[in-house]
Structure 1
Amino acid sequence: MSRRGGKSSGPEPYDFRRPTKLSREHIRTLQICFETFARQYATLLTTSLRAVSSISLVSIEQLNYDEYIAGLSSPTVVAMFTIDPLPGTAILEFSLSTAMACIDHMLGGPGGPQPQRPLSDIEMPLLHGLIDRTLGELRYAFEGVVQLRPEMKNIEYNPQFAQAGAASDAVIVSSFEMRVGTEECMATVCLPFGAIFPKLQGERGEGVLTEAQRAAREAAYRNVVAGLEGAPIEVSVRFQPVRMHPADLIGLQPGDVVPLAHSTSTPLAVVTADITFAYAVPGAQGNRMACLVVPSPQPGQHPTHRPAGQLGMKNRAEETSR
């Protein structure tokens, strides 16, 4: 039914599992990236395998991870890889018979029907090398959107064993028709939606800001930084912990000595929120205890302690002199 006079043909269903959807502009950007990847991938296969190969983009969909996994056959090649600097794990998937055909061509074979079995210890490095070069083409295809550094993690044959995300995580799935010699299959690339989506809209969002909006955003950023820098936090100086039996703790009396595992040549840890951000040696400043921040010790290095009378906080010493 067509729309006339600006009236809607009816209410549109809302999927609460997908509160954010790809717009037409986002789909177009992804289409350009994946079409570039398909051309580069086909060229890589043709030159590497010395067999006529073709890759063509079929569709781009937004799914949940469990929907994507449920739609894959088993066994199949599920190559999981990281997409630094973005978080999450992505997937390159294609049929096991196509993988066997690629290896057959790399070893000088004619291709043709392939056995359905896991790859051997000799075949696996060959496939790893081919996938690594394929990820290089994916990096090239997405250069206009984000500078990816994809890196291979591992390969699974059963999609149910591929732990690349939670079942409800949104993903972007692109499907390709893949042909290597006489072998044909459907290949997919699965990218985490939450990692890619901000890159699809972030740069465009900055371009529509007015000068007043940009100035207000910068002022808000400066205020947040200034507020964080002036916020008081609890800081402690700690010895290395020592393990004791409950019986020893219960039997402690005033005057008992508890040996510490902390060497006299090892500085103390300066800690806040259980995060060690500096090291220091103890001493005194006037009638108060103080500590002097020292360089972080390197493995096997024993820092030299200064006499207690020379230790103190530099800023506090300056305030005393004033």
Structure 2
Amino acid sequence: MAGSNRPAGRINRRSKGAGPLPYDFRRPTKLSREHIRTLQIAYETFARQFTTVLTTSLRAVSQVTLLSIEQFTYDEYIASLESPTVVAKVSMEPLPGTAIVEFSLDIAMTSIDHMLGGSGGPQPQRPLTDIETPLLQGLFGRVLGELRYALEGIASVRPELIGIEYNPQFVQAGGASDPVIVASFEMKVGASEGVATVCMPLGMIFPKLQGDRTDVQLSAAQRAAREAAHRNLVAGMESVPLDVSVRFQPVRMRPEELINLRLGDVVTLNHPSTQPLAVTTAGMTFAHAVPGSHGTRLACLIVAPAKEEDR
């Protein structure tokens, strides 16, 4: 989260015009376009209500605008946060798990300054004092009330503040590889600005989004477009080239045997002559074959897998 004295790189990276992003097929996105649209409506409502809370509570010109909704792992999200920053752990009863509401320490100090009658301006970068902490907690209480209101269309929740941390690495709200949905907001309070985030575990919000899909009535044109997109996707995937291997059973050797291998040495294979070879791709066996030739080229013939008693 960046205050006015931080580089704008993070804001630019999370902005709507950031351009295309690489797709990781090892971690496919589970949110459909309908899911994203549902969350977008909820978070845009939250941004408007958040703006109202800041303006009325601080009596300063404030603005909160939704930038993006993205899926990360929890470890990637925590690594993207700067330290120190304000990280609020939030329970979302009756939903499982812990959510995070986070924004820069600079904005937190500016907000407290306005609540105490100040004019904002440069702020110290330090944890809050025992007097300042209840003021920020009171502000969080109002903000979480607006988050509850914004999410009513998705789920009925009771957000409650669990605690506040300043070092993201000390926040244990999920496993490193757990998928999370992160909404990023551009946040301005007086002359201070930065990026605020709301992070929810995918397992917390996804079942509620998935349940809503059964209530969506598609028109004939929408169904036809979805079916055409599915056909195009299947046709495109069928033409994707894959590396395929035909393998014998692996051989176990000691390191000294590998080191002492010389040109002309013979390595005995433990593959039974009656057992077909495994045909694999990406480490998965999908067929079995026996070696042979096709004209002058080596080839293999796909056969049924050997029965257990024949092995």
Partner of 1:143: 152
Whichever residue aligns with residue 107 of structure 2, its letter is T
Per the TM alignment, residue 103 of structure 1 is displaced from its structure 2 partner at its CA by: 0.3
Per the TM alignment, residue 109 of structure 1 is displaced from its structure 2 partner at its CA by: 0.4
Matched, 1:70 2:79: yes
Distance 1:91 1:57 in 2: 16
Select the residue among 21, 25, 32 that pairs with 1:15. Answer: 25
Matched, 1:154 2:163: yes
Report the number of matched residues.
196
Partner of 1:51: 60
Distance 1:194 1:109 in 2: 42
Q: Render the CA deviation track for 1:267-316: whole Å, top value 9, x for unaligned.
A: xxxxxxxxxxxxxxxxxxxxxxxxxxxxxxxxxxxxxxxxxxxxxxxxxx
Whichever residue aligns with residue 56 of structure 1, its letter is T
Distance 2:62 2:37 in 1: 25
Distance 1:128 1:149 in 2: 16
Q: 1:54/1:207 Cα in 2 relative to 1: closer, same or farther (>3 Å)?
A: closer
Partner of 2:226: none
Matched, 1:193 2:202: yes
- Conserved? CA contact 2:29–2:71, under 8 Å: no
Select the residue among 202, 208, 217 that pairs with 2:211. Answer: 202
Distance 1:87 1:95 in 2: 26
Select the residue among 125, 129, 149 that pairs with 1:120. Answer: 129
Q: Render the CA deviation track for 1:36-95: whole Å, top value 9, x for unaligned.
A: 000000000000000010000011000000000000000000001001110000000000
Q: Render the CA deviation track for 1:213-267: whole Å, top value 9, x for unaligned.
A: xxxxxxxxxxxxxxxxxxxxxxxxxxxxxxxxxxxxxxxxxxxxxxxxxxxxxxx
In structure 1, stretches of 5+ residues that fail to align are 1-11, 209-322
Partner of 1:184: 193
Identify which of structures 1 and 2 has the higher relative contact order when contacts are C-alpha pairs closer than 8 Å and 6+ apart. 2
Whichever residue aligns with residue 199 of structure 2, its letter is C
Distance 1:94 1:127 in 2: 12
Whichever residue aligns with residue 69 of structure 1, its letter is I
Partner of 2:234: none
Q: SS state of the match for residue 191, structure 1?
A: strand
User: Which has the higher mean CA deviation after the structures are superposed, 48-57 or 198-207?
Assistant: 198-207
Matched, 1:91 2:100: yes
Runs of 4+ in 1 over 6 A off after TM superposition: none
Distance 1:36 1:185 in 2: 19
Per the TM alignment, residue 204 of structure 1 is displaced from its structure 2 partner at its CA by: 2.4
Q: SS state of the match for residue 51, structure 1?
A: coil
Q: SS state of the match for residue 160, structure 1?
A: helix
Matched, 1:170 2:179: yes
Q: 1:126/1:198 Cα in 2 relative to 1: closer, same or farther (>3 Å)?
A: same
Partner of 1:211: none
Q: 1:20/1:126 Cα in 2 relative to 1: closer, same or farther (>3 Å)?
A: same
Q: SS state of the match for residue 159, structure 2?
A: strand
Distance 1:25 1:206 in 2: 12
Partner of 1:133: 142
Partner of 1:108: 117
Looking at CA atoms only, which structure, 1 or 2, has the larger radius of gyration? 1
TM-score between both structures, scaled by the size of structure 1: 0.59
- Conserved? CA contact 2:103–2:195, under 8 Å: yes
Per the TM alignment, residue 117 of structure 1 is displaced from its structure 2 partner at its CA by: 0.6
Distance 2:216 2:196 in 1: 36
| Identity score, percent | 69
